[in-house]
Structure 1
Amino acid sequence: MASVNFANVSKTYDGTVSVVDNLNLDVREGEFLSMLGPSGSGKTTCLMMLAGFETATSGEIFLDGRPINRVAPQRRNIGMVFQNYALFPHMTVAENLAFPLQVRNISKADTAEKVKRALDMVELPHLGNRRPAQLSGGQQQRVAVARALVFDPKLVLMDEPLGALDKQLREQMQYEIKRIHERLGVTIVYVTHDQAEALTMSDTIAVFNFGKIQQLAKPDAVYETPSNSFVAQFIGENNVLPGTVTERDGDVCRVRIDNGDVLSALAVTKAAVGGATLLSLRPERIVVEPATEGPGQTVVGGEVVDQVYVGDHSRIQVRVFGKHEFVVKVQNASLRRTFRKGEPIRLGWQVGDCRALDEASGCGREAA
């Protein structure tokens, strides 16, 4: 296992725009940390600097307490898995796995044993004599994972490794990689733009935007308690309402939205009275036709725009507050009727499920 530390690391290619901006990040030994963000957010650049394929403009990267900025990539003892597999087409599967061992001068006997163990680990013991072109995409990706692990690295980096696979195979490989991580306990840093992938696989997620970490927390915390408006809108589906803080009372604030209505929300925002905020409400937290209106609950009226059947749930689009449209997700097992377009409807939610947020800003690791 290995620990990783980015200490005040920045990266710029033109001396003006920072692709990575003063990054401070600790990856714990044995942790599966995903760097999640849109294209251009800096996550892949961070991975490439850690691998040694890019050089930090400033700051230092540490591996097990040792500075590695000036250590050559091949001397960092880091396993790497790429999206395009990067297997040698002229070599067999076994020869591909043996290659990183041969360059490390491992004996033939030990090489054969490690190759066999790696093939068993990814459940491909019978395909050692095949060439990559004779394998499916999923099998090639398993070989790429095995090659990254065959020399027993303390740290494995994965750069969008499942991006080329179809949905069903990608989901299967997510669980395979997670299973291997749990068995070996190796530290994994994983780059992806797929929210579901990060939520499924990770111990911790670092959400990136504009070269900064917007939130660093466990998957459930990133989804359920986003720290700012970027995280709330990037992770999962979200209903948003811009507004102005009119009152603060401990953990709760009152927010006036643009049609003049005032709503209560959990005060995540740092904005004082008169400051701008963004209300965030997950579609699955909204109740259709709530039976009663009790303390700590908000109930509003709206008009049905559309209802779509999506297998296990239905999506109901509702116009509220005059012009805004909310998406509501309701499990079909509990939905007792179908709503017609233009029909009036009541929606309800708990005040604590509506969060008043700030715009995006950098932040540190949240408490476990």
Structure 2
Amino acid sequence: MALDSGPSGFVVFDRVQKSYDGETLVVKDLNLSIGKGEFLTMLGPSGSGKTTCLMMLAGFETATHGEILLDGNPINNIPPHKRGIGMVFQNYALFPHMTVAENLAFPLEVRKLDKSTREEKVKRALDMVQMGAFGGRRPAQLSGGQQQRIALARALVFEPELVLMDEPLGALDKQLREHMQFEITNLAHSLGITTVYVTHDQTEALTMSDRVAVFDDGRIQQLAPPDTLYEEPENAFVAQFIGENNALSGKVEQIQGDRCTVRLDNGALIDAKPVNVSQPGERTTISIRPERVEFNPELGPDAHTLDAEVLEFIYMGDVFRTRLRVAGRDDFFVKTRNRADQVRLNAGEHVKIGWLPQDCRALDA
């Protein structure tokens, strides 16, 4: 899928800032372009600015500075109900006194569509979310998952070009949430709808999105497809926030092209890919994913090996998660697949661990 990355995107935030008190910026100079038909997720911890961005796009908050454009048109001064945007919230926001069909017909009545057109669109939207038989029920007669499907159908019923979703699956149990993730992405792509999705759940962001914007402290820390975010984090915040990550502290000794040598705080020397370091003497955080580390490695002459002490061996079904003491830290993890020949390790055992230099990144301290 070709995605817009220039200012010609379908949704554009152009130097947008937001402050509630006139002093503290909760969104800082945001430039973001979202392509037509793209599924973009805004991911970040609480207070990072992601929901404020969504609310400015919806029209429920006003930008303090900068411009928001929809299909090339500025929308800062257009009220929410005239923006033609579908919205799905975590709390469903269904009218309890109306039937499911009446809930769906409401946005069509507001748009003054005739009765037969309304009925046809409501039927199509209900079929889309596999809820065709539930039109006569009230929201209170539905399960949480069913209510969320109806909320989704109501956001799609007037065929908007843009749908905004704010933590829509937060109230559902794990299995249902995973099923709904698949349904939502499938629907969005098959209908060609541009979707902006807000969550603090990294798994949700990685499995659903074309691109993910990782927010922290009112700024986008990295904007990239899910696999790039995970495999190539640009700073220590993204590395720690996306997936599991091992961090070891040290100082850059030398940099040569795409390889740098780092002396860890315990004195060990290791090679890494320099990503967010520029000169010798700089403090750095070494980032290495748990599944890239091997026990008693046979990875060739290039590999690093370190001594480690087993602190905990945790059975998780499909994987084993081993917590180790490495280079003076007690929070180093190795993930190995559950195989028939897996040797179970005991607390107190001493082992060798290793990885390839290209799997290891030198990031900001």
Q: Give the TM-score category using the shorter length.
A: over 0.9
Aligned partner of 2:304 in structure 1 is 298
Moved more, 305-314 or 324-333: 324-333
What whole-Å deviation, never above 9, does each CA across 1:25-81 have from its counterpart, x for those lacking one?
A: 000000000000000000000000000000000000000010000011111100000
**Aligned pair 1:23/2:30, yes or no?**
yes
Aligned partner of 1:365 in structure 2 is none
Deviation at 1:326, TM superposition (A): 1.3
Percent identity for Structure 1 against Structure 2: 61
Moved more, 271-280 or 120-129: 271-280
What whole-Å deviation, never above 9, does each CA across 1:92-118 have from its counterpart, x for those lacking one?
A: 000000000000001111100000000
Aligned partner of 1:287 in structure 2 is 294
**Structure 1 residues 210 and 334, CA, compared in 2 at 3 Å: closer, same or farther?**
farther
1:48 pairs, out of 49, 55, 66, with: 55
For the residues of structure 2 that align with 1:275 and 1:123, how far apart are their CA atoms?
57
- What aligned pairs does 1:43-122 form with structure 2 within 5 A after superposition? 43-122=50-129
Q: Could you list the runs of 4 or more consecutive aligned residues of structure 1 that deviate by over 3 angstroms after TM superposition?
A: 322-325
**Aligned pair 1:144/2:151, yes or no?**
yes
Any conservation in 1 of the 2:88–2:164 contact (CA below 8 Å)? Answer: yes
Aligned partner of 1:8 in structure 2 is 15
Unaligned residue ranges in structure 1 (runs of 5+) = 360-368
**Aligned pair 1:270/2:277, yes or no?**
yes
Aligned partner of 1:158 in structure 2 is 165
**Structure 1 residues 224 and 108, CA, compared in 2 at 3 Å: closer, same or farther?**
same
**Aligned pair 1:180/2:191, yes or no?**
no
Amino acid at match of 2:353: L
Amino acid at match of 1:113: E
Moved more, 95-104 or 301-310: 301-310
Unaligned residue ranges in structure 2 (runs of 5+) = 4-8
**Aligned pair 1:220/2:227, yes or no?**
yes
**Aligned pair 1:200/2:207, yes or no?**
yes
3-state DSSP class of the match of 2:238?
Answer: helix
For the residues of structure 2 that align with 1:135 and 1:279, how far apart are their CA atoms?
49
Any conservation in 1 of the 2:10–2:34 contact (CA below 8 Å)? Answer: yes
What whole-Å deviation, never above 9, does each CA across 1:129-176 have from its counterpart, x for those lacking one?
A: 000000000000000000000001010000000011111111111111
Deviation at 1:324, TM superposition (A): 4.4
For the residues of structure 2 that align with 1:324 and 1:274, how far apart are their CA atoms?
25
Any conservation in 1 of the 2:288–2:359 contact (CA below 8 Å)? Answer: yes
Name the Cα RMSD after superposition.
1.3
Deviation at 1:323, TM superposition (A): 4.0
**Aligned pair 1:341/2:318, yes or no?**
no
Amino acid at match of 2:100: V
Moved more, 114-123 or 321-330: 321-330
Using the size of structure 1 for normalisation, the TM-score is: 0.95
Any conservation in 2 of the 1:156–1:189 contact (CA below 8 Å)? Answer: yes
3-state DSSP class of the match of 1:126?
Answer: helix
Deviation at 1:270, TM superposition (A): 3.1
Any conservation in 1 of the 2:19–2:27 contact (CA below 8 Å)? Answer: yes
What whole-Å deviation, never above 9, does each CA across 1:287-335 have from its counterpart, x for those lacking one?
A: 11113x5233111111111111110110111112244441000001165
- What aligned pairs does 1:245-264 form with structure 2 within 5 A after superposition? 245-264=252-271
For the residues of structure 2 that align with 1:335 and 1:265, how far apart are their CA atoms?
31
**Aligned pair 1:239/2:243, yes or no?**
no
3-state DSSP class of the match of 1:5?
Answer: strand
Aligned partner of 1:313 in structure 2 is 319
**Aligned pair 1:355/2:361, yes or no?**
yes
Amino acid at match of 2:89: F
Deviation at 1:337, TM superposition (A): 1.0
Deviation at 1:122, TM superposition (A): 0.2
3-state DSSP class of the match of 1:162?
Answer: coil
Amino acid at match of 2:109: Q
Deviation at 1:280, TM superposition (A): 0.5
Amino acid at match of 1:105: K
3-state DSSP class of the match of 1:178?
Answer: helix
For the residues of structure 1 that align with 2:249 and 2:230, how far apart are their CA atoms?
20
Any conservation in 2 of the 1:271–1:358 contact (CA below 8 Å)? Answer: no
For the residues of structure 2 that align with 1:249 and 1:335, how far apart are their CA atoms?
40
Aligned partner of 1:363 in structure 2 is none
